[in-house]
Amino acid sequence: MALQSLRQSLREASHLATTLGYGPRFLHSTGQLHKGGANNGLFIQITADDAQDLPIPGEPYTFAVLKHAQALGDLRSLASKQRRFLRLHLGGDAGAQLARLGRLVQDALRPSVHATAG
């Protein structure tokens, strides 16, 4: 819900189309939209540390390492197509940091009132 609320706030403030993808490999399923066509998008990638990491049977790396590599691969793909992007890493407490991000975005989107000298 927090991600969807963030997306909707950005859509309403910018009057631009927005999409939301969750989890590793989101660019695999929407790659034609993000990497093809006109270069007029802004892509925000939000990552976080895993609360618990698990080994991948038969592999020398863990699921967290794999997901991190996939996220970096997605960014490299966007960069290779000269797409504009922003990567935000939330750290270990993703829920609290995502709520904080939502508040920061709401504050940034709120119209400011400037006092004028009379």
The predicted-structure confidence for 28-71, as pLDDT tens digits, reads as follows: 656 667 777 788 888 889 999 999 999 999 999 999 999 999 88
pTM for this entry: 0.80
Split at pLDDT 50, 70, 90, the class of 11 is: very high
To the nearest whole number, what is the mean pLDDT of the chain?
A: 86
Instruction: Say yes or no to pLDDT of 115 above 60.
Output: no
* Amino acid 116: pLDDT: 62
Give pairs for 2-11: CB < 8 Å, separation 24+. 2/95, 2/98, 2/99, 2/102, 3/46, 3/98, 5/102, 6/98, 6/101, 6/102, 6/105, 9/102, 9/105, 9/106, 9/109, 10/105, 10/109
Domain ranges in the chain? 2-94
Do 8 and 51 touch, CB atoms closer than 8 A?
A: no
* Amino acid 74: pLDDT: 85
**CB-based contacts of 50: which residues, under 8 Å, 6+ apart?**
63, 64, 67
Residue owning tokens 């993000």: 34
